Chains A and B, each alone.
Chain A
């Protein structure tokens, strides 16, 4: 149980285009999901907290207009990188916090984004 999927697992896009990444909790409901970004040999940096039915909460320094987050259901959150640039190339990972009250977040397998 407690499986989180991400789609796509990797994506290559041209500079200036937008890319959408999906995060799904497959066998549990998650009111709260988190989006992280990780550059090579760096730590996972929390970008935003996604709450079902309400606006996401962004961490300091993360542009909300560039990284659009939608959490329309208890099992799906999406992150859209708008007008992507090469510096947005990174490993994007989501995690989901079960609505049941578990302290443990369950991580997706990550999405490797390369912007040419």
Chain B
């Protein structure tokens, strides 16, 4: 089965840094995706971690610990356009299982 836990909502200030944590329990785990989703739109790919450690991609970084069933998404230099939902999504057997997402509000 699968169980994905991430905060429902977070608020941060423009220009700041925010870390969105995710814990998961997924049988047959392959790797973990992070997606960004704006309201009424399809999700867009941010990152994919297979091995333990930190993957950095511009303002966004993602960390994975397979043994702890833990991941985080780090967003730096926040911009107003980063206001969106961020979906933690473990994968197994080519299937992606989405969590409920964290709604991130950015304040000016």
Contact = CB atoms under 8 A, between A and B. Distances in A.
Interface of A: 32, 34, 36, 42-46, 49, 91, 93, 95, 97, 103-110, 112
Interface residue SS majority, chain A: strand
A43 B98 CA distance: 6
Given A34-B95, A46-B95, A110 B41 contact: yes
Contact of B31 (A36, A46, A103): A103
A44 B45 contact: no
Contacts of B41: 109-110
Interface of B: 31, 40-45, 48, 50, 87, 91, 94-101
Given A34-B95, A103-B48, A43 B42 contact: no
Contacts of A97: 94
B42 A104 contact: no
Contacts of A104: 45, 48
Contacts of B96: 34, 46, 95, 105
Contacts of B45: 104, 106
A36 B97 CA distance: 10
Nearest to B99: A43
Given A43-B87, A43-B100, A43-B101, A107 B95 contact: no
B40 to A, nearest CB: 8
Given A103-B31, A103-B48, A104-B48, A46 B42 contact: no
26 contacts: A32-B94, A34-B95, A34-B96, A36-B98, A43-B100, A44-B87, A44-B98, A45-B98, A46-B95, A46-B96, A46-B97, A46-B98, A49-B95, A93-B42, A93-B43, A97-B94, A103-B48, A104-B45, A104-B48, A106-B45, A107-B42, A107-B44, A109-B42, A110-B40, A110-B41, A112-B40
Contacts of B42: 93, 107-110
Contacts of A42: 100
